[in-house]
Structure 1
Amino acid sequence: MTTDRLLPTDEAAAILDLAADIADRELAPRAEAAEENGEFPREALRTLGRAGLLGLPYPEEHGGGGQPYEVYLQVLETLAQRWLTVAEAVSVHTLACYPLAEYGAPEQRERWLPDMLGGELLGGYCLTEPAGGSDAAALTTKAVRDGGDFVISGTKAWITHAGVADFYQVFARTGGPGAAGISCVLAEAATPGINPQKPERKMGLNASPTAIIAFDDARVPTERLIGDEGTGFRIAMSALDAGRLGIAACAVGLAQAACDYATAYAKDREQFGTRIIDFQGVGFMLADMATQITAARQIVLHAARLKDAGRPYSVIAAQAKLFATDMAMKVTTDAVQVLGGYGYVRDHPVERYMREAKVLQIVEGTNQIQRMVIARAMGK
């Protein structure tokens, strides 16, 4: 399964083979029905956790895999080829673990991280607000100290895993206006006053719940503050740099699935006595799809290798997310076109791939935000 990949170690190749095996056996057969019925695959995530695939980029001492980011991202791509909801869930969970893994005190990591990385606890990331959108520094959710607790009040929007997560990383205002007044608090989902609302009715990823969460004077112990007060915005932005690579890898996997399906269809479908892949109009379209997927994959892996080397990677992460998700939207649209009328009906998965691709251009910072990040860096 890994013969076409350049992996850093034999262990990495074995991990990728394991991910592909689980995805083929446990994920792919269930994806269509679960998406149709809106059933969140919680047990599948536990299976991945017990197989060691939920904490790959985090230290082994806390139950992680101790793997380079380039290995983790290729696992995400592999999962996304079979079922995007699961790959996105792994990416979001990895994002939710990041503040604790990177900024938590040693005793906090020892206490909470093993169950997170082992898949027993599923995470959500509460940054975005209804009015704030991409302007995260303007968030209004408050966390006010009261004795040994923070009392959190406010509203978070577009929260993946709302209502099914076991913990939330909550970014709230503990100080004055602007980025310097924001802190990060690790909250148990069962905390009274944390109230997920009705899931949004989405165009895709229907098996992945997304909802508003209302914080109605939820009391969270101050010992759950991650990092120092006022460092929350820096933590959030650092986490998003890594998270954007996860979404980019998901986009590559989804596009590969669409390309593979369209190619197989084009080799089997005949018109005028000829396989449609042998018509230049179709063959060239498939060739462009394959080339764009390869290009996106290389940008994603280049960014991952910079991260693994400890070098700055924020701009290349924005480029990877921008290019890969725009590519996925184009490739899935073209896959529908290759199938013609059959691509527009739910008898074939490419129409679902096309609907799912759209959200990848929006989450973890819209692609317009990615262009702003890149342009600002160019202007310095």
Structure 2
Amino acid sequence: MPALPDYFDPSHQLIRDSVRRFVEREILPHVDDWEEAEEFPRELYLKAGAAGILGIGYPERFGGSHEGDIFAKVAASEELMRCGSGGLVAGLGSLDIGLPPLLKWAQPALRDRVAPQVLAGEKIMALAVSEPSGGSDVANLKTRAVRDGDCYRVSGSKTFITSGVRADYYTVAVRTGGDGFGGISLLLIEKGTAGFSVGRKLKKMGWWASDTAELFFDDCGVPLGNLIGAENAGFACIMANFQSERLALAIMANMTAQLALEQSLSWARSREAFGKPIGRFQVLKHRLAEMATQLEVSREFTYRQAAKMAAGQSVIKEISMAKNFATDIADRVTHDAVQMLGGMGYMRESLVERLYRDSRILSIGGGTREIMNEIIAKQMGL
């Protein structure tokens, strides 16, 4: 996939080269085994931290690089996705949804203690918002935090938490005030805190290599200093974080489609039927042309929203559109890729089988497709 000069510069190509070598050396030889084992070694976080991958986009004083450079992050994310395991990329990258609120709004002492450990891969960070009673309806979350002297007493539960089993730090959405979005706060809760426990590792349709867990808080004591941002102002922090998460999911969707298209093209050129490569049959040739067209449109639209974000523009409506469009295209292209490969596309040894399964979570995570449409409609004045 050629770099585009209006979005990517030579420094981004260096990032691509570095991350590609990391993927080839540290991930590709083992990724199939890690998928079957439904986890990857914790050591990979340390290796990614030492290689500077976890720190891309974050401040240098915490061990990061290319602070605020959205396309540096895009380049790294695209190359990581070439490992073919969306679950591994989601697990390795769970810091990207858990850490930003802490960097922006936490007290300096907390931020300065936690961020360097996470960016070095020494500690793992997760975001905990979704609950058994509802995921997308953030304003009505139930987990309660009550002030008690110098701490909050937290009671409730979370579910579908990426890196939930192995994380050390959790950015947790809690209710500190009344009903609705005005009563929500964010707390940093550390593993090992009395009253906090991690439930079973959840079994999923896709993203096998990422651990996903339930979390339980039973009168869990959290220091007041672990409050992230102002009390009862957490909803705005969560919504601001969602924009970057939705961009990341659109990037993942486009790369899922890219890999599926590449596999389809390779198969169409090498697989023969009735005495010629199947790619020479018009029906399949045209299907590949449509897959490529849909992907190209989705990728360009996603890049455009990233460029607007980099320029400081608000893209609440457009990033929701980009996520919906990209995830729709990923679903369509992976479906067509399985069909193109026929029986082989249904085999676990085939990459497109995994891509097909993994694509389904992308239109659910970070706000469902239906919630994206609600946001789009609201931004249109409806």
TM bracket (short chain)? over 0.9
Matched, 1:50 2:56: no
Q: Structure 1 pair 207/86, CA: closer, same or farther in 2 (3 Å)?
A: closer
Q: What is the aligned partner in structure 2 of residue 39 from structure 1?
A: 39
TM-score (norm 2): 0.95
Give the CA deviation at 1:284: 1.3
Q: Secondary structure at the match of 2:130?
A: coil
Paired residues for 1:1-380 under 5 Å: 3-6=2-5, 7-65=7-65, 66-82=67-83, 83-379=85-381
Indicate if the aligned counterparts of 1:63 and 1:117 stay in contact, CA closer than 8 A.
yes
Once residues 298 and 68 of structure 1 are traced to their aligned partners in structure 2, the CA distance between those partners, rounded to angstroms, is 18
Indicate if the aligned counterparts of 1:267 and 1:275 stay in contact, CA closer than 8 A.
yes
Q: Secondary structure at the match of 2:251?
A: helix
Give the counterpart letter for 2:121 in structure 1. G
Indicate if the aligned counterparts of 2:78 and 2:255 stay in contact, CA closer than 8 A.
yes
Q: Secondary structure at the match of 2:28?
A: helix
Once residues 173 and 53 of structure 1 are traced to their aligned partners in structure 2, the CA distance between those partners, rounded to angstroms, is 34
Once residues 49 and 298 of structure 1 are traced to their aligned partners in structure 2, the CA distance between those partners, rounded to angstroms, is 30
Once residues 246 and 48 of structure 1 are traced to their aligned partners in structure 2, the CA distance between those partners, rounded to angstroms, is 18
Give the counterpart letter for 1:194 in structure 2. F
Give the CA deviation at 1:28: 2.0
Q: Secondary structure at the match of 1:238?
A: helix
Give the CA deviation at 1:3: 4.8
- Which is worse superposed, 241-250 or 40-49? 40-49
Give the CA deviation at 1:105: 3.1
Indicate if the aligned counterparts of 2:129 and 2:135 stay in contact, CA closer than 8 A.
no
CA deviations 1:81-139 (Å, max 9, x no partner) are 21212322244321101101222233332222121222222111111111122111001
- Which is worse superposed, 156-165 or 56-65? 56-65
Once residues 56 and 347 of structure 2 are traced to their aligned partners in structure 1, the CA distance between those partners, rounded to angstroms, is 37
Give the counterpart letter for 1:343 in structure 2. G
- Which is worse superposed, 55-64 or 245-254? 55-64
Once residues 86 and 18 of structure 1 are traced to their aligned partners in structure 2, the CA distance between those partners, rounded to angstroms, is 18
Once residues 270 and 4 of structure 1 are traced to their aligned partners in structure 2, the CA distance between those partners, rounded to angstroms, is 33
Q: Secondary structure at the match of 1:198?
A: strand
Give the counterpart letter for 2:70 in structure 1. Y
Once residues 38 and 359 of structure 2 are traced to their aligned partners in structure 1, the CA distance between those partners, rounded to angstroms, is 17
Once residues 280 and 71 of structure 1 are traced to their aligned partners in structure 2, the CA distance between those partners, rounded to angstroms, is 39
Coordinate RMSD, CA, aligned: 1.6
Q: Secondary structure at the match of 1:157?
A: strand
Once residues 8 and 268 of structure 1 are traced to their aligned partners in structure 2, the CA distance between those partners, rounded to angstroms, is 33
Once residues 254 and 183 of structure 1 are traced to their aligned partners in structure 2, the CA distance between those partners, rounded to angstroms, is 34
Give the counterpart letter for 2:211 in structure 1. P
**Unpaired stretches in structure 2, ≥5 consecutive residues:** none
CA deviations 1:191-231 (Å, max 9, x no partner) are 22221111221111111111211111111111111111011
Give the CA deviation at 1:67: 4.8
Indicate if the aligned counterparts of 1:128 and 1:134 stay in contact, CA closer than 8 A.
yes
Give the counterpart letter for 2:374 in structure 1. M
CA deviations 1:45-66 (Å, max 9, x no partner) are 3221211111322222222222
Work out the percentage of aligned pairs sharing the same amino acid: 38
Once residues 45 and 292 of structure 1 are traced to their aligned partners in structure 2, the CA distance between those partners, rounded to angstroms, is 34
Give the counterpart letter for 2:48 in structure 1. L
Give the counterpart letter for 1:38 in structure 2. E
**Unpaired stretches in structure 1, ≥5 consecutive residues:** none
The count of aligned residue pairs is 379
Indicate if the aligned counterparts of 1:252 and 1:328 stay in contact, CA closer than 8 A.
yes
Give the CA deviation at 1:75: 1.5
